[in-house]
Structure 1
Amino acid sequence: MRNYIVVALSVVFFFSCSSDSVEVVTVPNMESTEEPVDNTNDGGSNSDNSNDNSDNTSQEVDVTVYGDDLESDGSDFDNGVMRGLTPIQFAAEMKTGWNLGNSLDAEGPDETFWGNPRITKEMVDAVANRGFTTLRLPVTWRFHQGDAPNYAVEIAWLDRVEEVVNYARANDMYVIVNVHHDDPWIIPTQAESDGVKDRLAKLWTQIAVRFRDYSDYVIFETLNEPRHENTPEEWSGGTVEGRDMVNAYHQVSLDAIRATGGNNETRKIMISTYAASTVPVAMDALIIPNNDPNTMVSLHSYFPFPFTLEGTDTTWGSSQDRADLLAEMNRIKTRFSDRGMAVVLGEWSSANQNNIEDRLAHAEYYSQLAAERGFASIWWDNGDTSANRDGLAIFDRDNMTFTFDNIADILIRANE
């Protein structure tokens, strides 16, 4: 039986010269078996899963973090309580979500690099006051992370991410922090895997330490759309090697998070398929690291693609359109929900092509089907409200108003 081995890590991070502030976390060298998780007991617990790692050997290594700057100073808006909800219960609580996209995830030096305004508390307040209960906060780290061997994240960047997290927590929102456009170095090949695992473990250790004392309203998503960029299989489910490496990268990320202790021992962690894809080969290959009982499956379903993103079809709503979308949702349900696994549709939306009636029909049926199946669903908003294939925004961040309030209303009502 083929195994996915997570390389043992031995790391020392130097964030300050203060030697009297030392923290040691232990990252296990875990193995996970070939079989994808089949979680059949209520509430998403993996404890009785046949994919049992009890016979696997493990080695423990210390990751030492120096300095107080990595730790959070605490939040006035988060009580640090972990409620012990199952992943299924948790997904139901998340309800209606909105992505603060193309800001902290911009592939450049700061959050305004792609043209969106700087994130403000008033901006997040407006989204929360409209009725959205979950904020997905995509974050790109590679422009704010030092070189090997430490891969130290800029403290100012961690501070800014935490500041925006607190905007959400001040509104009692769930908030998802992820690793987003870091694909250029997260290459899912065996040849690159040792270096990727090392860097991922160090990155997630730093993120996890910063948010360790936050409540379970803060969620981690280990990888966004992990895939081998610019290959023929990039968006079609990947290769066997690629899918295996994505599973291995989830493993090392989850191990690093759990090893930081505190609330991170049971924090909910979203685990994506290859490219977050819903194609059967990608869904079937997903392995939940260690059968961890506090994980949720992360998927992106821009379905149907010609209507939602590609821009080649501006109409939606026929009986065949509805049947196809129903089949997509049922494939997800059969593969994951029927096996007791919580599902988060972390990205979905449709482009503004001056076709509002079609978008409304699609949004209503999509959000209805997701809610009926217990999926949390999160609209991808990139800040662009213009009429083109990139016009995925429903909220105007400059004026802090909902340009497409009718779509927002549909999304919220589906989960009432």
Structure 2
Amino acid sequence: MKNTILISLVLSLKLCCFWGCAQKEESTKDKIPGAIDMVETDKRDDTENNDIRKITPKEFVIDMGAGWNLGNAMDTESEDETAWGNPITTKEMIDEIAKKGFKTLRLPVTWRFHMGPAPDYEIEKEWLDKVEKIANYAFDNKMYVIVNIHHDEAWIIPTYEKAPTVKSQLIKVWTQIANRFKTYDDYLIFETLNEPRHEETPEEWDGGTAEGRDAVNQYHQVSVDAIRATGGNNTSRKIMVSTYAASTNSNALSDYIIPNDDENVIVSVHSYSPYLFCLEGTDPTWGTEADKTELTQEFNKIHDKFEKEGRAVVMGEWGSTFSNNPEDRLAHAEFYATACVERGICPVWWDNGNLDEFAIFNRNTLEWTYPEIADAIVNATK
């Protein structure tokens, strides 16, 4: 570059007002439609571009598009993320998910095998590094990422007896996670708990007891408070908060409380409806008018509850298990995803990597086993 006085003056006049936003050429990212700024892949290195956008939670959820769960990988009930048959997560996997058109990656994480004892419950640095590395694979693809506490029900027991200890541990764990991601922009979403419930009780999947629902509300409260207390972008980051067991049971819905009535809390629910088709797999057929009416009623129940409260909703898990019924699964997925979008709900397909169950993507070959289902979900959000 020539270094004359004239050129210096011209450049100074044209560029001085933009000086604070200048970035190294090799670290800049393309902008997504709508002039929404993306930040560097490693967002810990730069805080200036990590502003939280001034959009409502409902606008935010619509922008999340179609979602896909990286299930049964970082959330195994083991120290080994391959314990449930899935390979180590690679950038190539997440690249393929994004290439198909999915805009949100839900990243379930089990923490209990990677933290120390009380009172600090220190999380292993290597485990946090792995979580962040996978998240950055998605951020490289301009995706949203949901990081949560997943299969940790062994210590998150919703009873008054256990509550003081559980709350103390939740505060320590969420403080560490939130601090690690504090400078990330709002494409990073926290989800306080996955399906908080009292395991192996009669009410486990039926909305729980009054005590259980109250304890879960308390657990969400301290988790949200811990995240907000870390400051930075976490003061107004979008946080997903689930009902008891993430259930749409009437008791779970009626006793659900938004912590602090926080305007940036998004409701998280799961619905494998109808159960016999989606989860149990004992009824492999779906698509009659009666089937559609039943599923519509399920969605209306969710919408009627939270629309009047002005709350945005994410369907964090849904899907159908394989029963040698590709046509029925496709019909269900098309109807389900469309019903979500019509009500402003982000649909996030549960993929556990098992091709005999919920998987529609082969993580070993990087091929879509059921591309029609993936396309139906993505196209619904378009």
With the length of structure 1 as denominator, give the TM-score of the two structures: 0.81
Instruction: Decide whether the 8 Å contact of 1:135 with 1:173 is kept in 2.
Output: yes
1:335 aligns with 2:305: yes
Residue 308 of structure 2 aligns to a residue in which SS?
Answer: helix
CA distance in 1, matches of 2:289, 2:320: 19
Instruction: Decide whether the 8 Å contact of 2:178 with 2:234 is kept in 1.
Output: yes
Instruction: Decide whether the 8 Å contact of 1:75 with 1:166 is kept in 2.
Output: no
1:412 aligns with 2:378: yes
Query: Paired residue for 1:376, among 332, 336, 346?
Result: 346
Query: Paired residue for 2:163, among 180, 190, 193?
Result: 193
Partner in structure 2 of residue 30 of structure 1: none
CA distance in 1, matches of 2:54, 2:359: 34
CA distance in 2, matches of 1:211, 1:260: 10
1:300 aligns with 2:235: no
Query: Paired residue for 2:178, among 185, 205, 208?
Result: 208
Partner in structure 1 of residue 14 of structure 2: none
Report the RMSD for the aligned CA atoms in angstroms: 1.3
Instruction: Decide whether the 8 Å contact of 2:43 with 2:184 is kept in 1.
Output: no
Deviation at 1:80, TM superposition (A): 1.7
1:141 aligns with 2:116: no
CA gap of 1:314–1:337, structure 2 versus 1, over 3 A, is same
Partner in structure 2 of residue 399 of structure 1: 365
Query: Paired residue for 1:101, among 46, 71, 88?
Result: 71
Deviation at 1:338, TM superposition (A): 2.9
CA gap of 1:73–1:85, structure 2 versus 1, over 3 A, is closer
Instruction: Decide whether the 8 Å contact of 2:74 with 2:81 is kept in 1.
Output: yes
CA distance in 1, matches of 2:292, 2:285: 12
CA distance in 1, matches of 2:45, 2:140: 9
With the length of structure 2 as denominator, give the TM-score of the two structures: 0.88
Partner in structure 2 of residue 117 of structure 1: 87
Deviation at 1:401, TM superposition (A): 0.9
Which structure has the larger Rg over C-alpha atoms? 2
CA distance in 1, matches of 2:200, 2:53: 42
CA distance in 1, matches of 2:47, 2:138: 9
CA distance in 1, matches of 2:79, 2:103: 29
Instruction: Decide whether the 8 Å contact of 1:78 with 1:214 is kept in 2.
Output: no
1:218 aligns with 2:188: yes
Deviation at 1:379, TM superposition (A): 0.1
CA distance in 2, matches of 1:78, 1:217: 15
| Runs of 4+ with deviation above 4 angstroms | 75-79
Deviation at 1:337, TM superposition (A): 2.0
Amino acid at match of 2:134: V
Unpaired runs of at least 5, structure 1: 1-71
CA gap of 1:78–1:333, structure 2 versus 1, over 3 A, is farther
Residue 344 of structure 1 aligns to a residue in which SS?
Answer: strand
| Superposed CA offset, 1:242-285 (max 9, x none) | 00000000000000000000000000000000000001110111
Deviation at 1:76, TM superposition (A): 8.3
Partner in structure 2 of residue 127 of structure 1: 97
CA distance in 2, matches of 1:325, 1:77: 44
Deviation at 1:311, TM superposition (A): 1.4
Amino acid at match of 2:161: A
Query: Paired residue for 1:325, among 256, 278, 295?
Result: 295
Deviation at 1:240, TM superposition (A): 0.1
| Percent identity (aligned) | 58
More strand by share: 1
| Superposed CA offset, 1:162-204 (max 9, x none) | 0001000000000000000000100000000000000000000
CA distance in 2, matches of 1:74, 1:170: 14
Q: How many residues align?
A: 341
| Superposed CA offset, 1:275-311 (max 9, x none) | 0000111011110000001010000010001000111
Unpaired runs of at least 5, structure 2: 1-41
Partner in structure 1 of residue 279 of structure 2: 309
More helix by share: 2
CA distance in 2, matches of 1:109, 1:406: 35
Residue 135 of structure 2 aligns to a residue in which SS?
Answer: helix
CA distance in 2, matches of 1:291, 1:244: 16
Partner in structure 1 of residue 137 of structure 2: 167
Deviation at 1:339, TM superposition (A): 2.0
Residue 297 of structure 1 aligns to a residue in which SS?
Answer: strand
Deviation at 1:115, TM superposition (A): 1.1
Deviation at 1:110, TM superposition (A): 2.1
